[in-house]
Amino acid sequence: NPKWTKWLQKLCCPCCFGRDCLVLNQGYLSEAGASLVDQKLELNIVPRTKVVYLASETFNYNAIDRVKSRGKRLALEKVPKVGQHFHRIGLPPKLGSFQIFVEGFKDADFWLRRFEADPLPENTNRQMQLQFERLVVLDYIIRNTDWVVVKDPIIQLAAIDNGLAFPLKHPDSWRAYPFYWAWLSQAKVPFSQEIRELVLPKLADPNFIKDLEEDLYELFKKDPGFDRGQFHRQIAVMRGQILNLSQALKDSKTPLQLVQMPPVIVETARAPQRANSESYTQSFQSRRPFFTRW
């Protein structure tokens, strides 16, 4: 459904509206894509999310669709022999993301404030650090431009609200959309051996990366407005993020040092000698957004 606050923002301040680095109307694919990346990397911090068709009276439909729906229902009630021949009874289904609801979780801000007042025991703090590193890996690969995470008392993270990820370029206009977890104390601790052993072998495997790209392609092409060129730009950004993350893990950097690495784009090009082979070109982003901390 449309967000009226966003509509007012677009109407009153169009120059600062939206994220020009994101593909329009693709938030539901971003949600499902984040879940796919989470499953492939075995991070297990994103509730399972799929793309489905759903219909509901609470969804945003135009007047024609609602009148047709009521007319068909009325015809089915009054003249069943005629109504049973309708192709569909009710409102037309809409394509969107469907995510498993997580219970017993609270917003991250609540727990961060509580942990500042009441420090965690060493073992629990270690558990939180490992969960935090999984979040960093996911957020960085999909280049999430939002950050909403919830956790429960046993220090289990659930990375939800991933609809503003998979940009087609690194932010270079008004806002930088930084990773806000980079300001946490956990971001100053080098990546652990556990996360390196979990993630590095996969990211270093070209076949794994290729399979991930193909799975994302099969997912994203479900969108009626799918654009292959835009998708390739999204994947080029993701490859650059994977390249930086792999290097940071190899060098035992901290998450804070990771986000300070120059943004990279890795594009593919057909090799002229062999039509079936691909070569990669790497480039760095030189343009910086106007606001670097917002």
Most confident range (mean pLDDT) of 6-10, 160-164, 179-183, 188-192 is 188-192
Q: What is the pLDDT of residues 230-281, one digit of tens each?
A: 999 999 999 999 999 999 999 999 999 999 999 999 988 765 555 556 777 7
β 149-152/156-159 pair status: antiparallel
3-state secondary structure the chain: CCCHHHHHHHHHCHHHCCCCCCCCCCHHHHHHHHHHHHHHHCCCCCCCEEEEEECCCCCCCCHHHHHHHHHHHHHHHHCHHHHCCCCCCCCCCEEEEEECCCCCCEEHHHHHHHHHHCCCCHHHHHHHHHHHHHHHHHHHHCCCCCCCEEEECCCEEEECCCCCCCCCCCCCCCECCCCHHHHCHHHHCCCCHHHHHHHHHHHCCHHHHHHHHHHHHHHHCCCCCCCHHHHHHHHHHHHHHHHHHHHHHHCCCCHHHHHCCCCEEEEEEECCCCCCCEEEEEEECCCCCCECCC
At residue 49, what are phi and psi to the nearest 5 degrees?
Answer: -130, 135
264 near 277, Cβ under 8 Å?
A: no
pLDDT value at position 231?
A: 95
Q: Which amino acid is at 221?
A: K
Query: Is pLDDT above 80 for 282?
Result: no
β 264-270/149-152 pair status: unpaired
pLDDT value at position 151?
A: 46
Number of CB atoms found within 10 A of residue 128's CB: 19
At residue 266, what are phi and psi to the nearest 5 degrees?
Answer: -120, 110
pLDDT value at position 150?
A: 47
pTM exceeds 0.75 for this model: yes
Tokens of 27: 């938030």
Q: How far apart are CA 105 and CA 14, in angstroms?
A: 36
Q: Which residue has the tokens 């995470």?
A: 149
Q: Which amino acid is at 236?
A: A
pLDDT value at position 254?
A: 96
> What residues does each domain of the chain span?
20-54+99-284, 63-92
Rg, the chain, Cα only? 22
Percentage of the chain modeled with pLDDT above 70: 73
At residue 279, what are phi and psi to the nearest 5 degrees?
Answer: -120, 160
Average pLDDT, the chain: 81
